[in-house]
Chain A
Amino acid sequence: MDMQLKKGILDVCVLYSISKEESYGYKIISDLKSVIDISESTLYPILKRLESGGYLTTRTAEYCGRLRRYYNITKAGCEKLNSGKNELLEIYAIYKKLFGGEV
């Protein structure tokens, strides 16, 4: 898949995973495992970019004697998720017009 396209789709996927409930790195990867190929090395830059863009917030809490960073979606993140969903729909509509029912 084209990197730029995948980057945009991954942003939507990560935001979607966090929008359901507060989440953490490994849980996000586990949630998305059946949807898209994503690893820790791919996830870190996405989380950082989304955080610096104000689309999610983080907090660190203790879990089983160690620290774990939790991610929460912000209002701006919800808006970005909605616009991402619409873009995916647009891509899907183009695909359908081009190829019909072909997979």
Chain B
Amino acid sequence: MSDRAEADVRAYTVRLELVDEPGELLRTLEPIADNGGNLLSIFHERGNLTPRGHIPVEVDLEATPERFETIVEALRDAGVNVIQAGRERYSEEVTVLLIGHLVDTDLSDTFSRFEDCGEASIADVSLSAPHGTDEVSSALVRIVAHEGETDRALAVARDVAAEKDLNLVEPLTPGGEA
């Protein structure tokens, strides 16, 4: 029989935002190895920028829950922006339309706030502003969320849209269409 701590090793996905500077990725990986995490994979989405203009990186690793907490703390101490630290991958997604003066109301801020609940992330955005950015424009936004958190992510999106006087067109069945 293996000891308890060994049996308790779990897989985690950590989603990070990196500033586009040399050595940044290595700086991120050190605290993981140093604290007993076993790196499984690194998905470095170069060329893809988060709404804040950073490079999103997804790291899969194995660790015990205690070690994992230490790793997340160490990452944060090292100044790495940890967006998501959890066991599950985003298992749900929901697509919404956002309509209005998207640019004037600071689209980056809108999307950051969609993610602020900590349970959801903007996976994909298509923007259409056929009459220029001064006029009403539209964005199709794919939001990924942790299991059971789609409703919360939608509620946050609804609040942000209402505050900024934007129209949010939601799907009929949140979390997936029949």
- A and B associate: no
- Which residues does A use to contact B, with CB under 8 Å? none
- B residues near A (Cβ < 8 Å) are none
